[in-house]
Amino acid sequence: MKKRVRLEAKEPKENKEVKTGREGRESRQQDKGQDAIALEDEAQNEGFAEWLRSSSGVELMRLFVIANSLVVFVTMAWPNMQEALYIVKDFIMGDE
CA dihedral 23, 29, 31, 37 (to 10 degrees): -150
Q: Give the length of the chain.
A: 96
Using an 8 Å Cβ cutoff, are 58 and 52 in contact?
Answer: yes
For residues 15-32, average pLDDT: 62
- Taking 80 as the threshold, does the pLDDT of residue 7 lie above it? no
Q: Domain limits of the chain?
A: 20-53, 66-96
Does residue 52 or residue 88 have the better pLDDT? Answer: 88
> Rounded to an integer, what distance in angstroms lies between the CA atom of residue 90 and that of residue 42?
62
Rounded Cα–Cα distance for residues 35 and 79 (Å): 55
Single-letter code of the amino acid located at 11: E
pLDDT at 24 over 80: no
Where b means 16+ CB within 10 Å and e means fewer, 28-48 reads: eeeeeeeeeeeeeeeeeeeee
pLDDT (0 to 100) of residue 65 = 96
Model pLDDT, residue 39: 56
Tell me what pLDDT residue 16 has: 54
Neighbours of 57 (CB within 10 A): 14
Q: pTM for the whole thing? A: 0.43
